Structure 1
Amino acid sequence: MDDEILIRQNGHIGHITLNRPRALNALTQGMVDAMEPALVAWATDDTIKAVVIDATGDKAFCAGGDVTQLYHESLAGNIAFGHKFWRDEYRVNAMIAAFPKPYVALMDGIVMGGGVGVSAHGSHRIVTDRTMFAMPECAIGLIPDVGGTYLLANAPGSLGEYLGITGARMNGADCIYAGQADFYVPHEQLPALLDELVKTGDVGVIANFVQTPPNSTLADQQSTIDAVFGLPDMAQINAALDGDDTEWGAKTRKQISHGAPLSAVMSLELIRAARGGDIKMALRNEYRFVSRCAEQSDFIEGVRAMLIDKDRNPNWRYKSIADIPQSLIDELMQPAPDGDLNL
C-alpha cells in the first residue's frame, strides 16, 4: 500500500487523503484496510474534533473502487478476493454513516462509485465548481453500491431511479439538489477552508466559505423524470422513453443502452427496496448482488469492455429486460452465498 492513502492527525482533525492521483484515487483493499482502524481510533480520541477526507491530484476525489483488480482476481477464480473487498468496503461505508463526530468530505473533481461511499455518507459533504458525481455501475454490469442505493432512494421523487439506472453525471449544484451533498464551496477556497478546520476543528467555519450554488438542471427535469422513472418496472420505463421524442428522451435511452439490462432491472429493485429502510439494510442487499456478480451477472464482461479492452462493445448475458427470468431476480435478492453482511 505504501502511500496510496495518507492518514494522520492534523491539528484538531483526523485527516485522510486519498493518494493515487494517476489512478484517479481508485480505492484498493489496502486503502480500505487503512481507513477502518483510523476511524475506530478517532471516534474515541478526544483530541480529534472532526475527520476530513480529501484527495491529491487535479482530476478526481475518487473515481471508484479498483475494479480492474477485482476483474483480474475474479478471472483467476479468486472470487473470495472480491467478497473480502466488498465486505470490508461496505463496513467502512457504514462506519462513516454512523460516525459520532463530524465527517467532512471535500468532494472536488470526479466522485464516482467507491468515492461516493467514502464521502456522501458523511455529515458535512462539500462540493465545488469542479465536482462531477455519478454512479455509473450499470455500464460495467454492477449496481449502485457502497450504500448508493440508500442515497439514491432518498433523492427527490424518482430522481434516484433515474440517476442509478442511467449513470447520469451531476455537477455540484445537482448534487445538492439531489441530496447527495450539503455545501457548495468554490474549488479555490478549499485550502483556506482546510486550514481553518485544522486550526479549530470546528465545522462551523464551513459557513464562512459556502456560496449559493448555481441552479440545478435536475430541478427543471424533475417532473419529467418522475413521470418516467416512477413507473412500476423497467419494461414500462423503456416504453415511456420509446414514446418520448424529446432531446432528453433520446439522451436517456442512449444512457440506458450503455448498461447491462440485468443491472438496470436490479438497480430499480434495490433502490426501491432501500426506500424507507436504513443504510445497513441497503448495504446488505447490495452485497447480496455483488457477492454473485462474478458468476451470475455481467461484471466481468462489463469491466472487460469498458476498462480492459476498451472496445465499449459488451456482450451482455441478457440482451433485453424481457430475457431476464424472474427467478434470477429473486435469487439475486436472497441471502449471500457466503453469508449476509453483518454490520
Structure 2
Amino acid sequence: MDDVKTRTEGRAGIVTLARPQALNALSHPMSLAIEAAFDAWRDDPAIALVIMEAEGEKAFCAGGDIASIYHQAKAGALQPARDFWRDEYRLNVKIAEYPKPIVSFMQGFIMGGGVGLGCHGSHRIVGESSRVAMPECGIGLIPDVGGSLILARAPGRVGEYVGLTGERLNAADAIFAGFANLYVPGEDWPALKRGLIETGDATRAEEAARPVEGATLPGLMPMLDRVFSAETLSEILERLEGEGGETAEKALAAIRRSSPISLAATLEILRRARGFSSVREAVALEYRFTWRSHELGDFVEGIRAQLIDKDRTPHWKHPAADAAPAPYIAMMLSSLGENDIQ
C-alpha cells in the first residue's frame, strides 16, 4: 500500500512509513501491512534483520490515525477502533518478541503509536532531531502500545512524570528513559543502513553509536522522585504546587490540562506495570481502557478539541485533574470478559 512500503534488499527486510504529510500517522491498514511483512520475514533465512524507517524529516511516526476514530465514534461505530487497537497491540507484541534484530531509525517526532513501532525492537536509534513523547492523557487516552511498560521500567519516577505530563524527550533523555538505546548522528544513517543491508549484521548499529549529551532527566531525578512517588494524583498536584521552579510549574500546567480519567488510569496502570514481565501483560491492561475510552472515557472529546475543532479547550467529564472517582477508574481497567486480549 502507498502509506507504508515493505521490501527486501540484501540481508534486510525494510519497512518504510510513507505518510510524511500526515507525520506518518499509523492507520489500521498500515498496521496490518507491517505485521504481514514481519510474519513473512520471521522464518525467511535470507532475512537476517529488519530495518524500520520513515520518510520525511518531521516524524518517524507521530501516533495513530485518531481522526478517523472520532468520526466513527460520533456516528456510533465503536468497534472499528477496538479492532484497530487489538491488531496494533498484537503487532507491538510481535515486535517486542521478534527473533531477529529490528533496527529502528527514529527521526523527529516519535509519539504514541510511533513508540509502539519503534521502541520495542532490539536496536532503537535516535538522532539530533528525535523527540519522544507519550502525550495521550492530553487527548483522553493513556500511554498504550506497550508504552506503559517502558514508562514503568524507567529510572525512579521518570515514568509517572513523562506519562502524566506528555513531556517531550530529546535523544539523550529518550535513551535515559528507555525508549531508545543508541544515538547515531543523522548524517551517519545512510551509510549505516547500507552496511546493515549488505551484511545483515546488527552489531554495525552498535559500532556506529556515539555518546550523546543534553540529558535533563538525570538532574531532575531528586525532584521527580520526591513528587511523583506520591500515592494519589491529589498528592502529586499538592507536591508540585509546593515544589516551585520552572519544571514543576510546567508539569502542573500540563497535568491540569489533561483528562482526569486518563491521568488517574495512567497512574494506576504504571503502578501495576512495575510488576509485569512482558509487553503482553501491558497491552492487555491498556486494551481494557482503550476499548472503553471512546464510549466511557474522554477520548472523543479530546480528539475534538485537539484535532477537529482545534480549540484546545476540552470539556472533560470531570472538572479537576484529580476528580475522577476511584471506582470509575477501577471499572475502566476491569476485565472485558470475552473481549479481553488473550
Fold equivalence (TM over 0.5): yes
Partner AA of 2:99 in structure 1:
P
SS at 2:118 equivalent: coil
2:176 is aligned with 1:177: yes
Shift of 1:180: 1.2
2:30 is aligned with 1:63: no
Shift of 1:321: 4.4
2:318 is aligned with 1:323: no
Partner AA of 2:157 in structure 1:
S
Partner AA of 2:149 in structure 1:
Y
Measured in 1, the distance between the counterparts of 2:129 and 2:247 equals 24
Measured in 2, the distance between the counterparts of 1:248 and 1:159 equals 13
Shift of 1:337: 6.1
Describe the shift of the 1:322–1:200 C-alpha distance in structure 2 as closer, same or farther (beyond 3 A): closer
Partner AA of 1:314 in structure 2:
P
Shift of 1:133: 0.5
What corresponds to 1:333 in structure 2?
333
- Equivalent residues in 2 for 1:242-261, closer than 5 Å: 242-261=241-260
Partner AA of 2:141 in structure 1:
L
- 1:71-96 CA-to-partner distances (Å, cap 9, x unmatched) read 11111111000010000000000000
Shift of 1:208: 3.2
Shift of 1:207: 2.9
Describe the shift of the 1:118–1:322 C-alpha distance in structure 2 as closer, same or farther (beyond 3 A): closer
- State the superposition RMSD in angstroms: 1.0
Shift of 1:338: 5.8
Partner AA of 1:324 in structure 2:
A
- 1:224-245 CA-to-partner distances (Å, cap 9, x unmatched) read 1011011111111011011122
- Equivalent residues in 2 for 1:213-228, closer than 5 Å: 213-228=212-227
Contact 2:31 2:87 in 1 (8 A): yes
SS at 1:192 equivalent: helix
Measured in 2, the distance between the counterparts of 1:321 and 1:221 equals 23
With normalisation by structure 1, the TM-score equals 0.97
The total of aligned residue pairs comes to 341
Shift of 1:38: 1.2
Partner AA of 1:14 in structure 2:
G
Measured in 1, the distance between the counterparts of 2:322 and 2:224 equals 23
> Any gaps of 5 or more consecutive residues in structure 1?
none
Contact 1:24 1:62 in 2 (8 A): yes
Contact 1:150 1:274 in 2 (8 A): yes
What corresponds to 1:302 in structure 2?
302
> Any gaps of 5 or more consecutive residues in structure 2?
none
Contact 1:292 1:336 in 2 (8 A): no
Structure 1 residue ranges, 4+ long, deviating more than 6 angstroms after superposition: none
Describe the shift of the 1:315–1:337 C-alpha distance in structure 2 as closer, same or farther (beyond 3 A): farther
Contact 1:287 1:336 in 2 (8 A): no
Contact 1:15 1:53 in 2 (8 A): yes
Measured in 2, the distance between the counterparts of 1:121 and 1:287 equals 18
Measured in 1, the distance between the counterparts of 2:280 and 2:42 equals 19
- Equivalent residues in 2 for 1:113-124, closer than 5 Å: 113-124=112-123
What corresponds to 2:79 in structure 1?
80
Per mean C-alpha deviation after superposition, the further-off stretch among 207-216 and 268-277 is 207-216
- 1:224-273 CA-to-partner distances (Å, cap 9, x unmatched) read 10110111111110110111221121111111122111111110001111
Contact 1:61 1:111 in 2 (8 A): yes
Measured in 2, the distance between the counterparts of 1:6 and 1:51 equals 13
Shift of 1:322: 4.8
What corresponds to 1:283 in structure 2?
283
With normalisation by structure 2, the TM-score equals 0.98
Contact 1:152 1:160 in 2 (8 A): yes
SS at 1:323 equivalent: coil
What corresponds to 1:38 in structure 2?
37
Shift of 1:157: 0.6
Shift of 1:148: 0.8
SS at 1:329 equivalent: helix
